[in-house]
Amino acid sequence: MIVFTAIFGDYDILHPHPNLPGVDWIAFTDNPAMDPQGWDLRIEAPRFDHPRLAAKWYRCHPPTDGKALWLDGSIMWRDLEYLIRIEEMLDRHDMVCLRHIYRDCVYEEVMASVPLEKYRGQPLGAQMDFLRRRRQPPKAGLWQTGILGFAAGPRPRVAASAWFAHNDILTYQDQLSFPYIVDLYELNVGELPGGFWENPAFTYIHHRRED
């Protein structure tokens, strides 16, 4: 399995991780001076001007056709047993991630996103209108996608590529478009145990930037 992340515009720093035989840790970045902290650095120019969108492109295009686990640059991983559990779950699911701990509705998530600095200038209202026109139901579930596992094969990758198109064309508030993509592609998404903010398997480290 490959664990991968992407950091552009010095949005985050890399964090150390435990090692597990058969697991490779790959980080895409535009900063050749970044401390690798045990990651295999891949130096690449950003594909998009905004570092958030530049990183999300890599999340939606895993660097392998086999099992892969995306970690947001804010995540410091600690637990090997949880990693093994994810790998096992990917034998039964197209993708795996955490449920949103506060909301279960994309429309409520839109309203919660409006005042946030990181979404300033993003056409959140237009995205909400798009989802309503596509009859995306309310209260149909919401996911946190800072940790996202991909099963082997093309099925989750085709869906993820379409998901990125929504990030690019509509908004990079990806939690809004993910449930729509899950339904559209009839993905079997496995729910990871625990929450995002307090989880013994990893620690969330605040971004260095909030724009």
Count H helices and E strands in the chain, helices first: 6, 9
Provide the pLDDT for residue 210: 73
Rg (the chain; Cα; Å): 16
Phi, psi angle pair for 164, to nearest 5°: -65, -35
* Residue 75, burial from CB neighbour count under 10 angstroms (0-12, 13-18, 19+): buried
pLDDT one-digit tens code per residue, 18-54: 999 999 999 999 999 999 999 999 999 999 999 999 9
Average pLDDT over the chain, rounded to an integer:
95
pTM score above 0.85: yes
31 CB-side CA count, 13 A: 16
Provide the pLDDT for residue 198: 85
Residue type, 173: Q
pLDDT one-digit tens code per residue, 61-111: 999 999 999 999 999 999 999 999 999 999 999 999 999 999 999 999 999
CA-to-CA distance for 109 and 208, rounded, in angstroms?
23
Residue 158, number of CB atoms within 10 A of its CB: 11
Q: Please report the sign of the dihedral spanned by the C-alpha atoms of residue 157, residue 3, residue 142, residue 209.
A: negative
Provide the pLDDT for residue 89: 98
Q: Angle 58-174-208 (CA atoms, 0-180°, nearest 5)?
A: 70
In the predicted model, what is the mean pLDDT of residues 132-138? 94
Where residue 5 falls among pLDDT bands split at 50, 70, 90?
very high
pLDDT one-digit tens code per residue, 73-82: 999 999 999 9
Q: What is the DSSP letter of 104?
A: S
pLDDT one-digit tens code per residue, 148-200: 999 999 999 999 999 999 999 999 999 999 999 999 999 999 999 998 888 99
**84: which 2 tokens?**
């093994």
**12: which 2 tokens?**
């985050």
